[in-house]
Amino acid sequence: MDQLWSPWRAAYVTDEHRHASSECFLCSAADQTSNDEEWLVAARFDASIVVVNRFPYNAGHVLIAPLQHEGNLAVLPEEHAIELMKVTRIVVRALEDELRPHGVNIGVNMGSAAGAGVPNHLHIHCVPRWSGDTNFMPVLAETKVISELLPEMRHRLASAIARVRQQ
């Protein structure tokens, strides 16, 4: 039998990531301006941040979050909500340029009942998708194969986002 090794998922599977700290990881990533590599920050904007998801559904899965710790889109200041959409457009263009997906899932899960893993800090998921990217592994083995290391993906996406911003 072949084995797939992905030890970085252990914290997620065992739910340790939720109990390791009471701090919001999005706020921590935003606050740690000197170490974007460690926090997987791909880009910073005036009122928002782009972070490569540590527990991705697919390669290139990113989270776009306001710097403000707020879980409700309706409460977020209008200019911050507008920036989130502008950043989402930049991220989609960067994903398309760098990864060449066939499509991109974009979504917000607002509140625990809606599936938000971080219900108190709003974030937009951008997940690149390719035709045929679903195979037997998630169905039979409850395992998703991610083919690139997260730090490498962060570097690629940070460069791609920077290129899009210069256009």
Residue 1 lies in a domain: no
- Provide the residue range defining the domain that includes 159: 7-166
Residue 50 lies in a domain: yes
Q: How many domains, the chain?
A: 1
**Is residue 80 annotated as part of the catalytic site, yes or no?**
no
Give the model confidence (pLDDT) of 110-141 as tens digits.
888 888 888 899 999 999 998 877 655 555 55
Catalytic residue among 61, 80, 121, 123: 123
CATH of the domain at 153: 3.30.428.10
Q: Structure pTM? A: 0.81
Residue 2 lies in a domain: no
Could you tell me if 42 and 50 are in contact, meaning their C-beta atoms sit under 8 angstroms apart? yes
Alpha-carbon span 115 to 64, nearest angstrom: 16
Residue 16 lies in a domain: yes
Residue 53 lies in a domain: yes
Residue 121 lies in a domain: yes
